[in-house]
A and B are shown apart, each in its own frame.
Chain A
Amino acid sequence: DVKVTQSSRYLVKRTGEKVFLECVQDMDHENMFWYRQDPGLGLRLIYFSYDVKMKEKGDIPEGYSVSREKKERFSLILESASTNQTSMYLCASSLYDRNVEQYFGPGTRLTVT
């Protein structure tokens, strides 16, 4: 079974703090994705990576950056957290591209106060 894990289920940070969200997958998948999920807005893609050290912007990259130094790990960074970044963050991975089955992690609910 593919397993995608995220470093925290719940996180509370203050405005202006730097926030790191970590995601690890154990199936040697090439592609990894970061989404945020907000009520009524579905899943919106922030960034994705199709290879180590490679990254591509999704629909809503503003205010975020990512890092993929190793194949199994994809980090989402909020350089200076703001209250409008309060959301559920979901990491996913897939073998080829995002047009095939994606495996999701449990999610991190981030609250910025």
Chain B
Amino acid sequence: GQQVMQIPQYQHVQEGEDFTTYCNSSTTLSNIQWYKQRPGGHPVFLIQLVKSGEVKKQKRLTFQFGEAKKNSSLHITATQTTDVGTYFCDASKLTFGGGTRVLVKP
């Protein structure tokens, strides 16, 4: 199955800073889901995006679906230690994106 590219693979962030992770596809997506997996845990659903250009917010997390529905981003503001984990996008293909592993430096 076609994979979706997720970048960066690793992100070291200073506590309090912002960061963004991206999910890119070469084909148009019908929708996209984002999940978070804490260290030692299992993936937990965060959000689904369906419409072109859609933006959704969950507290310090902002999710965006591109106008062409080929990419998506997750932006976290004022990173906290509770944001540590791996963030996956699921682009309705057979396989999830490779994930962005986020480490927070206090």
Q: Which residues of A contact B (CB under 8 A)?
A: 35, 40-45, 58-59, 90, 92, 98-107
Closest Cβ of chain B: how far from A64's Cβ, in Å?
A: 14
**Residue of A40, A100, A105, A106 touching B48 (CB-CB under 8 A):** A100
- The total of Cβ contacts below 8 Å across the A-B interface reads 55
- The reply to whether A102 and B99 form a contact with Cβ atoms under 8 Å apart is no
Count B-side interface residues using an 8 Å CB cutoff. Answer: 22
If over half of B's interface residues share one DSSP class (helix, strand or loop), that class is named, otherwise mixed; here it is: loop
B92 adjacent to chain A (CB < 8 Å): yes
Interface hub of B1, B31, B35, B95 (most chain A Cβ within 10 A): B95
If over half of A's interface residues share one DSSP class (helix, strand or loop), that class is named, otherwise mixed; here it is: loop
With contact pairs A99-B31, A101-B33 given, residues A44 and B95 touching in the complex (Cβ less than 8 Å): yes
With contact pairs A59-B1, A100-B48 given, residues A43 and B43 touching in the complex (Cβ less than 8 Å): yes
- The reply to whether A99 and B30 form a contact with Cβ atoms under 8 Å apart is yes
Distance, CA A88 to CA B68, complexed state (A): 34
A-B contact pairs, 24 of them (CB 8 A): A42-B88, A42-B95, A43-B88, A43-B95, A43-B96, A43-B99, A44-B94, A44-B95, A45-B94, A59-B94, A59-B95, A90-B43, A92-B43, A98-B90, A99-B30, A99-B33, A99-B92, A100-B48, A101-B48, A102-B33, A102-B35, A102-B43, A104-B42, A106-B41
